[in-house]
């Protein structure tokens, strides 16, 4: 998410490190890089101007210039500036008694219909009965698409065959929702390829006659300043309550997200972070600012883990680890939980300082996991319990034949598992903070090697690696990279 903006902002902050003496000139150079990063991300010029004026005044103060850690001071100032631009945002939906009507609008191609399904699933997850209304009568197959989404998510969909009046459809949907004791009704209205009077008049009429409790604009996060312009036009016609920014998992540069609140006064309420129906998150400015600066988002990661992973299975594994037991069966069960499309990349991307790891994980696909599972499944129970002790060359060949892989891949899996087992046992019983500290130390120490494989280190005590040990591991990693490049295999 916003990789280019993230890298540019971090480079701007890092430019202040290693200065023999920090001066106003040094700081201004760093601030110019911050400004350039925002402009390259297609942030509105007025937003950039206001943002830079605000943070420059603080960054050039004596407290920062005389600081022993000016880069950290600037990072803190930029972070707070981003939070101020993006917020404040009330993430709650303010559902009332009876039927709460939510109206979604937007241009064609913004992902409006899919977002209806995502929002419906998010609401149903909280135990609220939800219904979707197919009021987009302009786009061919829009009604059918909403029915397909509703069936997949087990959400009721209201539509009228042969209907031509979307206003009447919305009014009838409200009555149906009342009859069915529905908690939340979501209206999927028609979009257009561009802003026009007919579209705005139709939406304005629905707004007046149906009286939705909240109106949300669905905005394509990849369209830059065009998204901000459309948001402004919709807000003037409908008085929006918020925006839902979609496609932030793609090549979005961040300009729309950072500009829409400042330019229109409309806060971003939700963000779409993937194609899956559970990839819609309530928007938190502080968390997003942390992500943009590459500092991760532990709160969202914890919430995602609690929602997506089998907590009972995790507790059982934790208990086994505390007894010093971790087998390939345990490894397979844990990996299977996160080996779903997009989930592993998302979880890694939320870890502080793990942007490079996220890029590496992007190369892993479903076939990689199936192959790994195939190797484990080809083993006997004894081999899965004690792979490094039991699996000899003969067994390795038999496993490889059964899994349809090269024997070297079996050997590599066993090596990976040895390192993972040591790490898992060290982390057992520790709090989230201690675990994150260990992950960061291992990353700094070079234990996460270029191929994304966790190398077994001679020390498995959990002690912090010394600078000398880190330097040694880094040299080994760099030497391996050069060797692979010479062999034509890439890093």
Selected residue with higher pLDDT from 146 and 348: 146
Inside any domain, residue 92: no
* Nearest one of 251, 241, 176 to 220, comparing CA atoms: 251
Residues 280 and 344 in one domain: no
Residues 288 and 307 in one domain: no
pLDDT of 147 above 80: yes
What is the model's pLDDT at position 361? 43
pLDDT of 32 above 60: yes
> For a pLDDT cut of 70, what percent of the chain falls above it?
71
Inside any domain, residue 467: yes
Residues 255 and 310 in one domain: no
Of 181-190, 292-301, 343-352, 370-379, the range with the lowest mean pLDDT is 343-352
Inside any domain, residue 209: yes
Residue ending a domain, among 295, 326, 353, is 295
Inside any domain, residue 127: yes
pLDDT of 295 above 90: no
What is the model's pLDDT at position 461? 36
pLDDT of 465 above 60: no
Inside any domain, residue 34: yes
Q: Are 70 and 59 in contact (CB under 8 A)?
A: no
Residues 247 and 140 in one domain: yes
Residue ending a domain, among 245, 276, 295, is 295
Kindly write down the DSSP assignment for every residue of 362-378, as one continuous string. TT--HHHHHHHHHHHHT
Residue ending a domain, among 295, 325, 351, is 295
Confidence bin at 378 (pLDDT 50/70/90) = very high
> Looking at residues 165-175, what average pLDDT do you find?
95
d(CA 9, CA 78): 9
Residue 26: partners with Cβ closer than 8 Å, 6 or more residues away: 16, 19
Confidence bin at 491 (pLDDT 50/70/90) = very low
What is the model's pLDDT at position 470? 58
Of 255-269, 290-304, 355-369, the range with the lowest mean pLDDT is 355-369
Domains: count for the chain? 3
Report the CATH number at residue 263.
3.40.50.300
Residues 7 and 63 in one domain: yes
> Looking at residues 292-315, what average pLDDT do you find?
63
Residues 29 and 110 in one domain: no
**pTM attached to this predicted model:** 0.65
Inside any domain, residue 491: no
Report the CATH number at residue 326.
1.10.260.30
Sequence-ordered alpha helix ranges (H) in 154-196? 166-179
Residues 337 and 393 in one domain: yes
Inside any domain, residue 94: no
d(CA 54, CA 26): 18
Of 75-84, 318-327, 464-473, the range with the lowest mean pLDDT is 464-473
pLDDT tens per residue across span 236-292: 888 889 999 998 876 667 788 888 888 888 889 999 988 888 889 889 888 888 878
* Nearest one of 260, 310, 280 to 89, comparing CA atoms: 260
Tokens at 102, concatenated: 């939510």
- Name the residue range of residue 138's domain: 100-295
Residues 45 and 124 in one domain: no
d(CA 377, CA 11): 45
pLDDT of 165 above 50: yes
Selected residue with higher pLDDT from 9 and 466: 9
d(CA 181, CA 99): 8
Residues 379 and 265 in one domain: no
Residues 192 and 56 in one domain: no
Of the ranges 36-50, 89-103, 176-190, 433-447, the best mean pLDDT one? 176-190
Residues 11 and 57 in one domain: yes
Residues 81 and 186 in one domain: no
């Amino acid at each position: 998410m916003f990789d280019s903006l993230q890298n540019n902002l971090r480079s701007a902050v890092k430019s202040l490190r290693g200065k023999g003496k920090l001066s106003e000139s040094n700081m201004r150079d760093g601030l110019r890089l911050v400004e350039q990063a925002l402009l390259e991300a297609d942030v509105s010029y007025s937003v950039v101007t206001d943002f830079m004026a605000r943070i420059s005044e603080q960054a050039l103060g004596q407290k920062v210039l005389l600081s022993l850690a000016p880069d950290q001071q600037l990072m803190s100032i930029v972070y707070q500036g981003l939070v101020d631009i993006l917020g404040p945002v009330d993430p709650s939906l303010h559902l009332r008694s009876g039927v709460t009507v939510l109206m979604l609008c937007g241009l064609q191609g913004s992902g409006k219909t899919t977002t209806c399904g995502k929002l419906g699933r998010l609401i149903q997850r909280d135990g609220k009965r939800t219904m979707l209304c197919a009021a987009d009568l302009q786009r061919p197959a829009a009604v059918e698409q909403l029915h397909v989404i509703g069936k997949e998510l087990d959400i009721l969909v209201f539509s009228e065959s042969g209907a031509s009046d979307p206003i009447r459809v919305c009014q009838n949907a409200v009555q149906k929702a009342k009859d069915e004791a529905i908690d939340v009704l979501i209206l999927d209205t028609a979009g257009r390829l561009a802003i026009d009077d007919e579209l705005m008049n139709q939406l304005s009429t629905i707004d007046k006659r149906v009286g939705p409790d909240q109106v949300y604009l669905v905005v394509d996060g990849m369209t830059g300043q065009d998204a901000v312009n459309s948001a402004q036009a919709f807000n003037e016609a409908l008085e929006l309550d918020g925006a839902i920014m979609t496609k932030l998992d793609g090549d979005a540069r961040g300009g729309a997200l950072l500009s829409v609140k400042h330019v229109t006064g409309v806060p971003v309420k939700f963000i779409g972070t993937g194609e899956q129906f559970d990839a819609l998150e309530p928007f938190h400015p502080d968390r997003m600012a942390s992500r943009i600066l590459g500092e991760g988002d532990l709160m969202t990661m914890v919430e995602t883990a609690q929602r997506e992973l089998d907590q009972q299975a995790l507790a059982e594994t934790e208990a086994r680890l505390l007894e010093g037991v971790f087998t390939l069966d345990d490894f397979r069960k844990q990996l299977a939980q996160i080996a779903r499309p997009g989930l592993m990349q998302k979880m890694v991307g939320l870890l502080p300082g793990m942007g490079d790891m996220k890029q590496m994980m992007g190369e892993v696909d479903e076939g990689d996991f199936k192959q790994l599972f195939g190797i484990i499944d080809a083993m006997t129970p004894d081999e899965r319990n004690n792979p490094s002790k039991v699996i000899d060359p003969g067994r390795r060949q038999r496993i490889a034949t059964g899994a349809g892989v090269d024997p070297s891949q079996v050997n590599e899996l066993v090596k990976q598992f040895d390192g993972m087992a040591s790490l898992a046992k060290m982390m057992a019983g520790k709090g989230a903070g201690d675990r994150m500290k260990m992950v960061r130390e291992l990353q700094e120490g070079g234990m996460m090697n270029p191929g994304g494989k966790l190398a077994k280190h001679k020390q498995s005590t959990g002690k912090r690696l010394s600078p000398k040990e880190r330097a040694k591991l880094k040299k080994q990693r760099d030497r391996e990279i050069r060797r692979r490049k010479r062999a034509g295999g890439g890093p």
